[in-house]
Structure 1
Amino acid sequence: MKKLSRRQFIGSSAKAGLATALFPAIVPASVFGKYAPSNRINIGTIGTGRISRGHDLPGVWKYEQAQVIAVCDLDTHRVEAGKQLVNEYYSRKTGKTWDGVKGYSDHRELLLNKDIDAVIISTPDHWHALACIHAVQAGKDVYLQKPASLTISEGRTMAEAVKKSGRIFQIGSQQRSSPQFRYAAELVRNGRIGDLTTVYVGLPGDPSGDEEKEMPVPANLNYDAWLGSTPKVYYTEKRVHPQTGFDRPGWLRCEQFGAGMITGWGAHHIDSAHWGMNTEYTGPIEIWGHADFPTHGLWDVHGIFRTEALYANGVKMIVSNELPNGVKFEGTKGWIFVTRGDYRATASDPVPDASGVKPLEASDPAIIRSEIGPNEIHLYKSDDHHGNWLESIATRKAPITNAEIAHRACSTCLLHHITMKLKRKTILGPGSRKI
């Protein structure tokens, strides 16, 4: 396909979305049945960088019912690297030379492939919502990396598009499929710590950086399209992704493309907090806080911060990167703390800090030894997030994190980010339920 300017790409994307909305959804080629080739779920991946290679592709190709048949990226070098990665995996698995993966440099072309039943979207944050909208309008089921959107309004549009399409949607909030997070939420919702009063959410931090000079755009990167709907800014490698290797990309620390850790890890932890609070389909009614932002350098996402939010049920949420990484539920009869582990931020990525942090702790060990009785609240159980998505595609039953839940977690994160900027209390009121 001819290389388009950013304006042409966005404009034609909008037209393509409208056009596909006028046609009925494409029926997936993979229908029920044991995993004969004709009955497998054919998957395309949009975005073939670090999270795709290290998490999303391995998360689905391990299942016999899934077959990755296409990869897409705006960087042609990454298209080829993605094809090679998947072909080599299937070559090892089958013991035969495998060359069955098609590469695309435009996700709209990939979506026209009727052999593809579902897509994994692992792009930078500012492309999440639009790529998802295009995918469900094209009749594809979607696994979308979190956060759901760059802005609240586009997240709401995305959630409505998924609902209208009837497609299966899973957001990449894999903590929902981790036993300690589910169990913590069940304990809280069944009153093991009394009445819930306060939830503390601790996030990793993000280091700032230096000024970076303008560089020529690599011939292999469609930078105009990569910028998407965001303002045009000069290219420098650290603003986008490494041209060699797949280390943590610099766009994660540029507000133009994502809000920083408040959405990067906040989308995980605030979703887990909402699960325990029973506020998955709403949001705060008041919010206030502050943050330090870099005064120079390319990377401009928030630094040290503390924000607080009040919910209609009277529970307060406090979010800060000066709290332990995880979610602490505090009630009138004790507390529960749940986490993946202790993490610290490095120049490349948050990494485990070998300090022996337990995944689940409580003020009284008896709390976490408690069993949830048959007549108590039992939450949706998933043991593997990608596997749950594939099962939902086959059965057409809802996965563990639908589009509305994904949007509400993300919109809450974005409200915390907005209050960092405003540095004052914002009264949202009951209308926040419609955000």
Structure 2
Amino acid sequence: MGGFLKLPNTKVVAVCDVDTTRREDHKRIVEEFYTKQTGSEFKGCTVHKDFRELLARQDIDAVVIATPDHWHAIIAVAAAAAGKDIYCEKPLTDTVFEATSLVAAIKKHSRVFQTGSMQRSAREFRVACELVRNGVIGKVSRVEAGFGGPAKPCDLPAEALEPGLDWDLWLGPAPVRDYNSILSPRGVNKHFPMWRMYREYGGGMITDWGAHHLDITHWGLGMDRSGPAEIIPPADWNSAQQGAKLVYANGVEVTHISNNGVTFFGADGEVYVNRGKIKVTLRGKVEASFMAKEDQPALSEQLDKLEKNLLADAKVRLYSSADHKADFLSSMVSRKQPIADVETGARTVIGCHLLGFAYYHGQKLSWNPVLNEFTKGSGDSKWLHREYRGAWKLA
């Protein structure tokens, strides 16, 4: 939310949270910001517990969805139907079916949609992907994408529920279970709640961080409108935290490893990229390396060098964005697709879910990335979605 507060030509007018404490605290943050900015008391931020109340308002043009993953698709589809443009955090959805349904809903209602894969708006990732896309390291044969492991079924014990949290609404479409503070910590500290590590609410680090690094993998490989054709589990799939592979129709293998970041391996060299880091090696010679804040020259100088020496005549230039949220607002005005549109986000999260299946089911899978379905008798269509609790559904 803070990133939007500071941007011109927009105003935060409402917040929605099932937790009273966080809801009221965010109202305070908004009103204090605008009061300080304007010099006069601002009391124009309203609060909602139920997202449906907020979506019914005609004075709201766009919404930011930053809920636990199991809520993303239901809220986003409803927001599109209500005529709102949408900025939705990654990973985009909790199932493959939700991803394809969300793409259809955004197209049906002609909405602007930005996936919160903000690494695309960081220069080091764009430069790295342009190096790969322009063949600077030669034909790419494999990629290593590093992030954490899969989720597990929720086995947390019941805890006493303090007043102020609507636990039933927090659960929403997920199965009923007792409250546990690991899933939804109380208070307003900047915590990193671990609901994401349980399959009822997320996909573990495979979707949480995979949505960042598999996204960059797809960008570098030019796979934003495609996906893997084969999924290969590790031998010790039922206990492994890494080692599964995605194989694409062009033969490129993407291996899930533990070390954070993305490395593209080409016939003539390698490109490694992570947040604030890049290393480019050509024919055994290091062309640029910035791996720690103490390194010199600075990252910006290293990127300047790479663009000057290796990309001056590049035929492929990727979408350049310096601010992910500002890019979304600009697209709302132009009605053009932002840097991480809904299908880009959907393709990434589908790849993440397929990777997760390798650890959950231990089967070698064949996949049709056009139809988004299993082929050759592999897999089970039941894995692609889950039953919603009660009356919840995709609008």
Q: TM-score, normalised by structure 1?
A: 0.76
| 2:268 aligned partner | 333
Under a length normalisation based on structure 2, what TM-score does the superposition of the two structures give?
Answer: 0.84
Q: Does 1:426 align with 2:361?
A: no
The runs of 5 or more residues in structure 1 that have no matched partner are 1-56, 295-301, 342-357
* 2:244 alignment partner in structure 1: 307
| Residue number in structure 1 paired with 2:336 | 397
The SS at the match of 1:170 is: strand
Deviation at 1:304, TM superposition (A): 2.3
Aligned-residue offset at 1:81:
1.0
Aligned ranges 1:25-424 → 2 under 5 Å: 57-204=1-148, 212-243=156-187, 245-290=189-234, 304-321=241-258, 324-341=259-276, 358-363=277-282, 364-366=285-287, 368=306, 370-373=309-312, 376-424=315-363
Residues 29-82 of structure 1 deviation map (CA, whole Å, 9 limit, x = unaligned): xxxxxxxxxxxxxxxxxxxxxxxxxxxx12111111110000001112221111
| Partner SS state of residue 433, structure 1 | coil
Taking a change above 3 Å as real, the CA distance of residues 422 and 206 of structure 1, as seen in their structure-2 partners, is closer
Query: Secondary structure of 1:359's match?
Result: strand
Quick check: 1:292–1:305 contact (8 Å CA) kept in 2?
no
3-state SS of 1:113 partner: coil
Native 8 Å contact 2:227 2:351 kept in 1? yes
The structure 1 segments of at least 4 consecutive aligned residues displaced by more than 4 Å after TM superposition are: 204-212, 291-294
Please give the per-residue CA displacement for 1:232-252, whole angstroms capped at 9, x wherever unaligned.
Answer: 111111122334533111212
Report deviation, 1:254. Answer: 1.5
Question: Within 1, Cα distance between the matches of 2:112 and 2:149?
Answer: 33
Cα distance between partner residues in 1 of 2:137 and 2:369: 28
Give the number of aligned pairs.
Answer: 352
Percent sequence identity over aligned pairs: 37
1:141 Cα offset (Å):
0.4
C-alpha contact (below 8 Å) 1:237/1:243 kept by paired residues: no
2:365 partner letter? T
Give secondary structure in 1 for the equivalent of 2:40. coil
Give a deviation string over 1:96-147, Cα, whole Å, max 9, x none: 2221100000111001111111000000000001110011110000000001
CA 1:318 to 1:84, structure 2 compared with 1: closer, same or farther past 3 Å?
same
Q: Residue 4 of structure 1 corresponds to which residue in structure 2?
A: none
Q: Distance in 2 between matches of 1:121 and 1:132?
A: 7
- The CA deviation at 1:167 is 0.7
Cα RMSD (Å) = 2.3
Which residue does the alignment assign to 2:301?
Answer: none
Cα distance in 1 for residues equivalent to 2:73 and 2:152: 27
Tell me if the contact between 1:241 and 1:250 (Cα under 8 Å) persists in the aligned partners. Answer: no
Q: Cα 1:85–1:290, aligned 2, differ >3 Å: closer, same or farther? A: farther
Indicate the SS of the match to 1:147: coil
CA contact (8 A) 1:328 1:337 kept: yes
Question: Which deviates the most, 368-377 or 94-103?
Answer: 368-377
* Secondary structure of the structure 2 residue equivalent to 1:66: coil
